[in-house]
Structures are given as C-alpha cells and as structure tokens.
C-alpha cells in the first residue's frame, strides 16, 4: 500500500485487487470525478448511480468549488475543500484514487488529483485509463452505494500553484514563464467553437498548445509511457528545466498537462484556474489571438 501512495497513476488491476481484498475504507477511498462539457449529452451523477467501481463515491467539481465566482468550478477555499472531502470519508492518511468515465480514458480526474495536491494531500492517484480501462479488463461494477463515515480532513493551501488573470497578463509582457494550453487545436487556433456561451475561441498571446488527449493512448485511454510524454513536451517546445503554467477552457483539462509533467519529474506545475473563460471575458481584444473572429473591440 505505501508504495502505491507516491504513484501518480495506479493500474486497474492494482485497484481491483484492493477492492477484492476489502481494502477500500478509511485508508483507501475511490472517487468517481466524472464531469462533461454541456454539449456532451451525459449526466455524470446519473451514470454513477447506475454503475461505478465498488466502494466509490462521487466527487462533483461543480459542487466542491467557489460558488461566489462567476466562472465554473473555480477552486474552493481550503475550509470548503476539507469539509467536502471529509464528508467522503477522506482523512489526511487516506490514499485517494480518482477516476472518471470519459471515453478518452481520463478527462476530469486529473483536475481532482491536482486539487488534492494543491490542498496539501499528496497521497492521491489517478486510475490509469479510467473507468474505460476498468471495464475493458472486466473488473466488477455496482450500483450500490454506502455513504462513508465522515472523517476530519485538515487542508493546507499552496497558493503559489494558482495563477490569476493578472499574473498571466503580466507574463504576456515579461514572457518569463512558459504557458501551455490543453484545449483541442481548433479551439486554440480560434477556428472551432468554445463550449460556453459568449466565449469565442482563440488563445493567450505566447502560449503553447498541447491538447490533453495527446497524452493518452487513443485506443486504450492509458497514459503514454514517460519517454513518449517527454518527447511530446520537447516537440511542443516546452523546456522542462524551466517553470511553466497550464491553462485550458475552465481549469479542468489543463491538469492533464500537470499530471504528464509530474510523471516526467516536473512536480510544481502551476494552474491558471480562470483559464480561457476568464481570459476572454477580461482581456483586451489584442490579447485574444485567433484565426477566427476573435474578440471585437
């Protein structure tokens, strides 16, 4: 068990063994963190009620968030996070395994992995290949759910990992930090629509595009080997010896870049949590780079 706690990824077979040997409990919690963009006609909560990994609880990123923000699922306060995960039976000594049921293999799970780490909990792993791999390998599923007993969780907050609009705006002038965007190429270029109303596609000046799906095997959904991940960063022009920040549409898929970087040994990747939704809303038209119509003055 101890060895698995330091791994950012755990295999479906490892988790299946843990489920089979009744290790799910105060020392090991499984979270289904499925979340979908509005245009994908799937209801993550309803799907969880119908089928999930035995012993799993549902983690709702639209519930565990800063509800005072005008932007979707921004990070909650450390107190709100501690209360939310404590209600899921997670304490400071709990190994947390996060997955989602995306067709990609992983979509939103790395966001929750990153959230735990920014709130001081490093004993967290993403299920490699997600529910997709779990099902492909023929592991058991259930519709049964037993609410875990509440546990106390004490959170800290690593604010240096979270970047604001002002931080990113300043960086467009100083160009001191690399910024990497996880959205699909068409949205980044400005030629495919954004999923949110009143937000046009495009990108922050000077950013590098690394679509989140490129980190996973297209067939299995498994994370690519470290050598291949390193090659992707190199090909994209990201210098892994220097700091970089990540962004996307609303702070979810950017965490795929953080996870891939972590696997390559680059542990301190920072997130622009407001991401493109905030940037487009606040930025001057000249700071919206697009091959489409961009932002009108």
- Catalytic residue ranges: 248
- Cα–Cα distance measured from residue 249 to residue 277, given in angstroms and rounded to the nearest whole number: 6
What 8-state DSSP symbol labels residue 102? -
**Residue 160: closest CA among 77, 84, 61, 245:** 245
- Cα–Cα distance measured from residue 193 to residue 281, given in angstroms and rounded to the nearest whole number: 15
Long-range contacts of 284-287, Cβ-Cβ distance < 8 Å, separation of 24 or more: 287/169, 287/172, 287/204, 287/205
- Cα–Cα distance measured from residue 223 to residue 225, given in angstroms and rounded to the nearest whole number: 7
Beta strands in the chain (DSSP E): 9-10, 28-32, 56-58, 95-99, 124-127, 162-163, 178-181, 208-209, 244-247, 270-272
- Cα–Cα distance measured from residue 259 to residue 209, given in angstroms and rounded to the nearest whole number: 16
**Residue 214: closest CA among 233, 201, 195:** 233
User: Buried b vs exposed e over 279-295: b needs ≥16 C-beta within 10 Å?
Assistant: bbeebeeebbbbeeebb
- Distances from the Cα of 271 to the Cαs of 9, 111, 170, 209, 233, in angstroms? 20, 10, 15, 15, 17
- Cα–Cα distance measured from residue 192 to residue 202, given in angstroms and rounded to the nearest whole number: 9
Cβ-contact 92, 154 below 8 angstroms = yes
Token pair for 8: 């950012």
Burial of 11 (0-12, 13-18, 19+ CB in 10 A): middle
């Amino acid at each position: 068990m101890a060895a698995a706690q330091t791994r950012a990824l755990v295999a479906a077979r490892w988790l299946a063994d843990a489920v089979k040997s009744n290790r799910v409990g105060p020392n090991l919690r499984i979270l289904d963190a499925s979340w979908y963009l509005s245009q994908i006609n799937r209801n993550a909560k309803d799907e969880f009620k119908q089928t999930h990994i035995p012993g799993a609880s549902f983690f709702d990123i639209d519930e565990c968030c800063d509800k005072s923000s005008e932007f979707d699922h921004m990070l909650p306060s450390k107190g709100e996070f501690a209360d939310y995960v404590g209600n899921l039976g997670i304490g400071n000594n709990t190994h947390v395994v996060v997955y989602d049921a995306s067709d990609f293999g992983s979509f939103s799970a790395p966001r929750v992995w990153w959230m735990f780490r920014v709130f001081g909990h490093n004993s967290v792993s993403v299920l490699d290949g997600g529910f997709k791999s779990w099902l492909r390998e023929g592991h058991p599923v259930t519709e049964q759910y037993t609410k875990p007993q509440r546990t106390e969780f004490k959170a800290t907050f690593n604010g240096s990992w979270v970047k604001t609009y002002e931080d990113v705006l300043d960086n467009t002038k100083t160009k001191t930090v690399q910024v990497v965007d996880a959205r699909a190429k068409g949205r980044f270029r400005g030629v495919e629509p954004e999923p949110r109303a009143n937000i046009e596609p495009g990108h922050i000046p000077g950013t590098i595009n690394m679509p989140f799906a490129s980190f996973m095997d297209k067939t299995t959904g498994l994370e690519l080997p470290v050598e291949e991940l390193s090659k992707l960063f190199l090909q994209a022009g990201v210098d892994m010896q220097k700091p970089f920040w990540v962004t996307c549409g609303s702070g979810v898929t950017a965490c795929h870049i953080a996870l891939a970087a972590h696997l390559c040994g680059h542990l301190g990747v920072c997130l622009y949590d407001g991401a493109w939704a905030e940037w487009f809303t606040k930025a001057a038209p000249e700071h919206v780079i697009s091959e489409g119509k961009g932002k009108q003055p």
